[in-house]
Structure 1
Amino acid sequence: MSAANTSPRNLHFLYLLSLLCLLTGTNSDELQILLNIKTALQESNNNVFDSWESNNSVCKFTGITCNTDGSVKEIELSNQRLTGTPPFDSICQLQSLVKLSLGGNFLYGRVTENLNNCSRLQYLDLGNNFFSGSVPDISSLSGLAFLYVNNSGFSGTFPWNSLENMTSLVALSVGDNPFDRTPLPRQVVKLTKLNWLYLSNCSIEGQIPAAIGNLTELINFEVSDNYISGEIPPGITKLRKLWQLELYGNDLTGKLPIGFGNLTRLEMFDASSNYLEGDLSELRFSTQLVSLQLFENEFSGEVPAEFGDFKRIVNLSLYTNKLTGPLPQKLGSWADFNFIDASENFLSGPIPPDMCKNGKMKELLLLQNKFTGQIPLNYANCTSLTRFRVSNNSLSGVVPSGIWGLPKVNIIDIALNDFEGPITSDMEKAKSLNQLIAANNRLSGELPSEISQALALVSIDLSNNQFSGKIPATIGELKQLGSLHLEKNMLSGTIPDSLGSCHSLSDVNMAHNSLSGQIPSSLGSLPSLNSLNLSGNQLSGQIPLTLSYLKLSLIDLSSNRLTGPIPESLSIEAYNGSFAGNNGLCSQNINYFRRCLADSGLSRELRTLIVCFTLGSFALILSLGFFIYLKRNQRDHDRSLKKDSWDVKSFHVLSFTEDEILDSIKQENQIGKGGSGNVYKVSLANGNELAVKHIWNSDSGNRKRIRSSSPMLAKRAGSGISPEFEAEVQTLSSIRHVNVVKLYCSITSEDSSLLVYEYLPNGSLWDQLHTCKKMALDWETRYEIAVGAAKGLEYLHHGCERPVIHRDVKSSNILLDEFLKPRIADFGLAKIVQTNASKDSTHVIAGTHGYIAPEYGYTYRVNEKSDVYSFGVVLMELVTGKRPIEPEYGENKDIVNWVCSKVKTRDSVLAMVDSNIPETYKEEAIKVLKIAILCTTRLPTLRPTMRSVVQMLEDAEPCKLLGIIVSKDGNKKEELRNNDKV
């Protein structure tokens, strides 16, 4: 077609065709880029990538928003439980991309690519992830309005200079990262469009610059948990749009600046844990306050009366200051007031009566002040209360009966006051009560039997009161009771025998009452009892011999009417004075007691000699019989091994013979005993050493009996080889990995089977961490063990032709060679995922208590993620040095519960690290602990793959502690800083 013949209509058609071709090419490129993202990132159970298919339009992909021309405008994949390292080079090839949101996932790795090719970005969120290394180069992103990298894992120096040209920034959130220390950068205070500035816990030091007042659009300013000193600058009073101001956990001094009341929109103000002083008068006009946290400062003067007119306030923490005068009586009477903690001040006057007016109050904490008057009756109906603490004041009157029966309260603390009257039968309603502390008052009457229905009680302290009557006979129903203090009252009657049923009791004090009768022998059955004080009563009879079985740090039975001998194990110097004032007692060892008369004509020494001779002779006869039995059994065992016909299957080139192995299977070479068989050490003639597991076939005895009667039945009984043996051979015979134990060969007979492994001289990781064989493993060694074991499991899950689920990952199944390099061992429960079975699971009941993933509680379907959970427990062992199950965790609790309960503050997290790990490595250990927490997530789909775990471990390096839990916008969750008095 010539140019002369090309009509305008044809030109228009050609233009459209060219544009269509261009768009088709662009869409094809962007499709490939998005598919690259899908390949790089693994999803959990959100199915976010289900729509990301090559036959689908990219504009229909979940999380993708397009322009009108079909080009990708936004990627919104935040909070999708994604793992992996994003391919930023590919992402930045999306020419029209203005929003990239990947926050709130489990992304990891170093970001080595710069983001300068993403020059059109206006919104970038990488926060709340597990990246490592420095923040990537973002200097060309001049159009950014929103930048979130808070709690991302980045370290080093934040590129503050990159902010120079980002004049459009509206939100800047970089907190909760272990950056290098730096003053609050000048570049920040030039960003005059900012309305959200989150710089908490990122090593900001120096003073808050006066120019902060230039950021007049700010509605949120947070610089908590840093190293900021000096005074709060007056310029902060210019920020009249402020909604939240967080300054806690710094070294601020001085007074609240004059004009602070100008912040009339301020709802959330936290300047706690500083060194601020002066009065609170500048807050009189902050009428919109919802939460005010000023605890642990040096504020003085009175609480402004205007606080009583604040209609929105629900949280008020003023504890540990020097405040005086009364609290406003209308305080908390307007809104759904939640809690007050004004403890450890010099406050006086009555308790405000209406803080629970709307029935929402949870905590009333006013201990250690000078409050007077009675407990207002309104609080007896405050069923929402969980903590009621008014101890160490000058309160008086009768405690309202409803207080004793508040259904949600877990602590009632009214000690050191002048209260009177009884504890009422309302106690039966206190189903959540853990601690009842009412010592040092003038309470009276009998202890109600209903106290035994407060089954959650752990501690009771009613000492120094005027209680009378008997101790309730049903007190033994308090199975969780650990401490019982009833001393210095007027109690009478006997000590209930049921007290011996309180198996958690460690501390009992009933001294200085009028108790009578005998000491119950059941007290000797309390396994945890450490301190027993029954002095100053009228107890009679003999000291129960069962008390000798206890390991007591304190026993005091003095000033009673006890008679008879003092048990020998209690007649020691450590208990001197413990039995004084009991004229009827005698002892063979304590000089100031009369000597006990012999029970018969035999002297004590002769009786002891006869008993010892009799017991010794009996033990000798038993030992001799047992020795003969073992020798005979061993001869039979050896004879059986020799006469059997053996079948050898080798999986490596062998440097030993079958006979060398069989000759070494004898008792003196036994080095271990597991659930599936005994383990022997074999020293070869060439100097090499091997480990041999001997497994008796589970039904060999049955087959022998069957064979004698029917050859056909014997054949039907099968080979009898144990399933553990078959699993181990099937798994290990084809595996070649440096971190999986090497299986040289199997030797099988009709009745038993042998597995021949490489010998690992340093035993198991369990041995090195928890037994008398343990050595002081330095952090570098622990880290290498973690990485090596992870690589072994990664190979099993991802490197084999068919995935192998170990199903019994634990520290005792991680063996260590002469260089302390780890090997995954003991595949007796392993399962190779069959091609014709379910892709992701297998029906099993397997594992070891403390390592078993929680899905066992509701299904027997487990997959590779169950191994990941167990490995997370091993990581916790490496970091903390603790066993998976310890008494200190509490009943039905394990190391995972314990670790999660301690993840509250920086100090509580650091305290979990094994004391054998030097301070210089504790930050690195914490990073591994974070990976362990991720591995032990309750939902299997949220756990990373072992491939991801290896990547995260390899990226682990010494750095400052990362924040564990923050909200997406950078605000710390309130539960991380629960500073109420314990």
Structure 2
Amino acid sequence: MKFKESFKQSNVLEFDSWRFGVSPCNFSGVFCNSDQFVTRIELSNKILIGNLEFESICQLQSLEKLDLGFNNLSGIITDDLKNCTKLRFLDISMNFFNGAVPDLSSLRELEDLRLNDNGFTGQFPWKSLESLTNLTVLSVGDNPFDISSFPLEVLKLKKLKRLFLTNCSLMGRIPEGIGNLTEMENLELSTNYLTGEIPEDIVKLTKLYQLQLYANDLYGKIPVGFGNLIQLVDFDASNNSLEGDLSEIKPLERLKSLQLYENHFSGNIPHEFGDFKNLEGLSLYSNKFTGTLPQSIGSWSNFDFIDVSDNLLTGPIPPNMCKNGVMTYISMINNQFTGGIPNSYSTCSTLSRIRVSNNSLTGNVPAGIWGLPNLDFIDLAMNQFEGPVTADIVNARSLTQIRAQNNRFSGNLPMEISKASSLVSIDLSFNQLSGAIPVDIGELKKLNSLYLQENMFSGTIPSSLGECTSLNIMNLAENSFSSQIPDTLGSLSGLNSLNLSRNQLSGQIPSSLSNLKLSLLDLSNNMLTGPVPESLSIQANNGSFIGNPGLCSQSIQYFRECSNKSSHNIRILISCFLTGTIVLLISFAGFIFFKKKHNEQVKSFKSDSWQIKSFTRLSFCEKEILNLIKQENLIGKGGSGNVYRVVLGSGVELAVKHIWNTLSSEGNRSSTAMLMKRSGNLSEFEAEVATLSSIRHVNVVKLYCSITSEDSSLLVYEYLPNGSLWDRLHTTCDDDKLDWETRYEIAVGAAKGLEYLHHGCDRPVIHHDVKSSNILLDEFFKPRIADFGLAKTVQSNSTNSSTHLITGTHGYIAPEYAYTCKVNEKSDVYSFGVVLIELVTGKKAIEAEFGENKDIVDWVCRRMARGENIVELLDNSIPEVFKEYALKVLRIGVICTARLPALRPSMRTVVQMLLDAEPCKLIDIICQDDGSKKEIMVSDEKLKYNSV
């Protein structure tokens, strides 16, 4: 009953039978021997919440099995565990235990030990394993232990059948003695820092059915005699530096899954693979394989997927991989395959992805493929396919992406494509398609990008395109479209790029296009007439209208002036404006010179030659910005320059960051919204421009333009009047502090911004300096990720997805930087986790109360490890009704700040975890369950699943 009391927060049906006056042998999940002594407690995957008390458990002197895996248990393992001397089976895996694992030498009867997927730290007591000679299962992976090399004590456990040491910081080599563990059936050493060759004596493990070595630094060849492992079913050595051919794998005919991607293997893929009757998954991408694929591969089994992309393979695609009707994924991109797509795949209804781009494939795509009911992504680009896109695409209700550019497709685009309602992206550019675009294309409400350039389309551009409300990019260039540009395109508020160049469009440019915020507009080389709307006559659109001799403009020099009775007056106004501007600039230069003499804090601009580069439609010019860079508009200072708030004559507010192109003396750190970095120079400017100029997301700060001269650089942003999250958490009085609903929305919005950077761009963008002062708030407290001076883009051809970092902010920097000087997306996740903890606790990342060289993560983890009431960690201003949800966000923050990067979730998972913790959503679920907490516990389980 003490044991039950530990889990009083848990709404578990099993505990209904746990009552005084009832024999424990009748408790659900409890089992006794013939003498009525408890021998087993089996409560795995029951959504248990609480701190486990080993003192009460180990009073059960006959207890042989304790199975509490996959719950939400926390706390530390106390020395009381040593009293459970009869234990044969101990499973507390998939929980939230932390701290150090105590000495286990007293558990001499132990046969099965599972501590994996927790938060254990420090040194594991490997020495105590010498007493556990009966161990058959040792599973302690997915914990951030401090391990310097492979523990040789493990080699003495001769009865060991399963060894799970994945993701626990193993370094060094796999020892040669591993071959002496001849009872081994499952060996998992993945996601560590192991190096060297696969030891030769591993071929002695003839009972192995699973061998997992992926994500290490192993090199060399597959050991000679590897074919002796004839029981092997699952072999994964992907993401290493292994080389040589696969001849040693030919005898392993029981293989179900073979994954060797991202290595340096070469040679032919053995034809014996085609005879593997159990093979269900084959992943060999990013190697140097040559020759043809065995044509019978996948013919015998429930073959599920194949990925052989990025090799040098030739010959035809095997025809029978979907013979048993269960295949889901074909990926063969970037090879030299020839022939066509076999007709057999046109009836493979389970297929979700077909990716065969960048090969030498020919012929018609079998008609049924376009309409496969579960197809999500079809990628046929850069081949020599011919024939039509067939009408059975009407059945493709799951299809989200079509990539078929650079082929020879011909015929009309079928009107049935408008019924493929899940389509997000269509790229049929550089083909020979003709006829009109279907008039009902506006039914594609999710369509985000439409690339039809370089075809032979004709007729009018359908006005229904204005109903594709999600459109971001539309490229219809180099076709034969005629008639007018539809006025309805002006209603596409999210449209960012519009290219209608090199067609036969006529009539006037619709004034509705002025409503769009376009980073690219190209209407050149058509037959347009009439005036260019003044709002489109900006420098960013230079060249957008050339090749239309019928156009006129009052402000674009290479066009004739439009006939207007008031043109003389307009010319006078323009002359007056130019004269006034010159006078203003002279005055401004004098003002700068005067301020330099009287105030050394104000920097001068060495050059009068300024160049503006816009990234969106502008309603101002550089002169208007320059005139407002003055002392009274200063809102922030930093070592690299200053930040100014400028208010244009139109009333629009902007924030302007001024970066000197040479290093300046270190200034004071700003506590205002637009905090400058401490090492500003030209490279910082270029990094920020390169990152932000290509990003369009509601939760990423908007960069309007850059203005540069010989010695200075200006970045012009949207102004965010509510400062930064840091300001709102730490510098406002209690009455003005953010309420919980607002904090939650800020957390979700900022997470979505980072998710976009990591997953939504062509290449992942790593921010490098995520912190609360770089999360800015608009007038509605909606967040924007800002300050990208350290941001890096992960290159697709990089051999390492991490990148060297020069600086960051103490308290937010991920711990791996201390010993690798490298960061990747998971480093941003760590920093965001600090922000979440900061947001929930109200504490700064670094405070004196945490102790010397300690930060907020240490402070939270220490208090949780001591078993303190974690509710006391929350900001006192959070109302009682929301504390349960705040605790969920705190747990997410702790998960994000795991010491090992591999233990941290992706930002995509973090967003989903935060959405699952939404207060309103959970309150609704509670009401559906008549006030019980059952559904809240289910939500906690979701968080656990996501964190795993």
Both structures adopt the same fold (TM-score exceeding 0.5): yes
Distance 1:346 1:535 in 2: 38
Question: 1:435 Cα shift?
Answer: 0.5
Question: 1:535 Cα shift?
Answer: 0.6
* Deviations 1:29-70 (CA, angstroms, capped at 9, x unpaired): xxxxxx111111236443111111111112111122212222
The partner residue of 1:561 within 487, 506, 527 is: 527
Question: 1:417 Cα shift?
Answer: 0.4
Q: Which residue of 1 is the match for residue 38 of structure 2?
A: 72
Q: Is the 8 A contact 2:481 2:503 kept in 1?
A: yes
Question: 1:907 Cα shift?
Answer: 7.0
Q: Which residue of 2 is the match for residue 123 of structure 1?
A: 89
Q: Which residue of 2 is the match for residue 760 of structure 1?
A: 735
Q: Is it true that 1:786 corresponds to 2:840 in the alignment?
A: yes
Question: 1:945 Cα shift?
Answer: 12
Partner amino acid, structure 1, of 2:318: P
Question: 1:114 Cα shift?
Answer: 3.7
Partner amino acid, structure 2, of 1:514: S
Question: 1:878 Cα shift?
Answer: 11
* Deviations 1:106-154 (CA, angstroms, capped at 9, x unpaired): 1101233341111121111111111111113322111110000011221
Q: Is it true that 1:941 corresponds to 2:929 in the alignment?
A: no
Question: 1:91 Cα shift?
Answer: 1.4
Q: How does 1:242-253 map to 2 (within 5 A)?
A: 242-253=208-219
Distance 1:477 1:341 in 2: 34
Q: Which residue of 1 is the match for residue 777 of structure 2?
A: 771
Q: Which residue of 2 is the match for residue 301 of structure 1?
A: 267
The partner residue of 1:326 within 285, 288, 292 is: 292
Distance 2:10 2:226 in 1: 48
Partner amino acid, structure 2, of 1:225: T
Partner amino acid, structure 2, of 1:76: E
Q: Which residue of 2 is the match for residue 909 of structure 1?
A: 906
Residues 784 and 350 of structure 1, relative CA distance in 2, 3 Å threshold: closer
Q: Is the 8 A contact 2:155 2:181 kept in 1?
A: yes
Distance 2:910 2:324 in 1: 44
Question: 1:783 Cα shift?
Answer: 3.4
Q: Is the 8 A contact 2:904 2:947 kept in 1?
A: no
* Deviations 1:486-527 (CA, angstroms, capped at 9, x unpaired): 000111101000000001001000111111000011111101
Q: Is the 8 A contact 1:872 1:936 kept in 2?
A: no
Distance 2:418 2:474 in 1: 16
Residues 599 and 246 of structure 1, relative CA distance in 2, 3 Å threshold: farther
Q: Is the 8 A contact 2:837 2:893 kept in 1?
A: no
Q: Which residue of 2 is the match for residue 310 of structure 1?
A: 276
Distance 1:878 1:125 in 2: 23
Question: 1:943 Cα shift?
Answer: 3.8
Q: Is the 8 A contact 1:434 1:457 kept in 2?
A: yes
Question: 1:104 Cα shift?
Answer: 1.3
Q: Is the 8 A contact 1:880 1:912 kept in 2?
A: no
1:49 match: secondary structure = helix
The partner residue of 1:868 within 881, 884, 889 is: 884
Q: How does 1:28-177 map to 2 (within 5 A)?
A: 35-42=1-8, 44-177=10-143
The partner residue of 1:270 within 224, 236, 240 is: 236
For normalisation by structure 1, the TM-score amounts to: 0.64
Distance 1:934 1:275 in 2: 47
Q: Which residue of 2 is the match for residue 460 of structure 1?
A: 426
Distance 2:27 2:200 in 1: 51
Q: Which residue of 1 is the match for residue 875 of structure 2?
A: 822
State the identity %.
53
Partner amino acid, structure 2, of 1:941: K
Q: How does 1:204-219 map to 2 (within 5 A)?
A: 204-219=170-185
Residues 759 and 378 of structure 1, relative CA distance in 2, 3 Å threshold: closer
Q: Is the 8 A contact 2:896 2:904 kept in 1?
A: no
Residues 417 and 782 of structure 1, relative CA distance in 2, 3 Å threshold: closer
2:12 match: secondary structure = coil
Q: Is it true that 1:435 corresponds to 2:401 in the alignment?
A: yes
Distance 1:217 1:521 in 2: 75
Q: Number of matched residues?
A: 673
Q: Which residue of 1 is the match for residue 348 of structure 2?
A: 382
Q: Which residue of 2 is the match for residue 397 of structure 1?
A: 363
Of the two, which has the highest radius of gyration?
1
Q: Is the 8 A contact 1:43 1:80 kept in 2?
A: no
Q: Is the 8 A contact 2:905 2:946 kept in 1?
A: no
Q: Which residue of 2 is the match for residue 471 of structure 1?
A: 437
Question: 1:759 Cα shift?
Answer: 5.4
Q: Which residue of 1 is the match for residue 385 of structure 2?
A: 419
Q: Which residue of 1 is the match for residue 502 of structure 2?
A: 536
The partner residue of 2:312 within 346, 368, 378 is: 346
Question: 1:786 Cα shift?
Answer: 2.5
Partner amino acid, structure 2, of 1:296: E
Distance 2:27 2:121 in 1: 33
2:289 match: secondary structure = strand
Q: Is the 8 A contact 2:110 2:132 kept in 1?
A: yes
Distance 1:879 1:557 in 2: 50
Q: Is the 8 A contact 1:868 1:944 kept in 2?
A: no
1:163 match: secondary structure = helix
Q: Is the 8 A contact 1:525 1:546 kept in 2?
A: yes
Q: How does 1:567-582 map to 2 (within 5 A)?
A: 567-582=533-548
Question: 1:570 Cα shift?
Answer: 1.2
Question: 1:777 Cα shift?
Answer: 12
Residues 930 and 577 of structure 1, relative CA distance in 2, 3 Å threshold: closer
* Deviations 1:376-419 (CA, angstroms, capped at 9, x unpaired): 11011111100011110000011111111111101111110011
Residues 572 and 286 of structure 1, relative CA distance in 2, 3 Å threshold: same
Distance 1:784 1:446 in 2: 57
Partner amino acid, structure 2, of 1:131: F
1:364 match: secondary structure = strand
Q: Which residue of 2 is the match for residue 504 of structure 1?
A: 470
Partner amino acid, structure 1, of 2:840: A
Distance 1:139 1:934 in 2: 46
Q: Which residue of 1 is the match for residue 823 of structure 2?
A: none
Distance 2:841 2:547 in 1: 65
1:559 match: secondary structure = coil
Residues 378 and 331 of structure 1, relative CA distance in 2, 3 Å threshold: same
Partner amino acid, structure 2, of 1:267: V
Q: Is the 8 A contact 2:192 2:216 kept in 1?
A: yes
Distance 1:784 1:497 in 2: 50
1:760 match: secondary structure = helix
Q: How does 1:801-880 map to 2 (within 5 A)?
A: 822-824=875-877, 868-869=884-885, 872=888
Residues 373 and 261 of structure 1, relative CA distance in 2, 3 Å threshold: same
Q: Is the 8 A contact 2:405 2:429 kept in 1?
A: yes
Distance 1:45 1:382 in 2: 45
Q: How does 1:732-747 map to 2 (within 5 A)?
A: none
RMSD across aligned positions (CA): 3.5
Partner amino acid, structure 1, of 2:372: L
Q: Is the 8 A contact 1:151 1:963 kept in 2?
A: no
Q: Is the 8 A contact 2:47 2:938 kept in 1?
A: no
Q: Is it true that 1:199 corresponds to 2:196 in the alignment?
A: no
Partner amino acid, structure 1, of 2:190: S
Q: Is the 8 A contact 2:840 2:886 kept in 1?
A: no
Q: Is the 8 A contact 1:565 1:586 kept in 2?
A: yes
Greater displacement, 502-511 / 66-75: 66-75
2:119 match: secondary structure = coil
* Deviations 1:728-777 (CA, angstroms, capped at 9, x unpaired): xxxxxxxxxxxxxxxxxxxxxxxxxxxxxx95355557488652599999
Question: 1:788 Cα shift?
Answer: 7.0
Distance 2:163 2:133 in 1: 14
Gaps of 5+ in 2: 576-732, 744-771, 787-808, 813-833, 844-872, 927-932
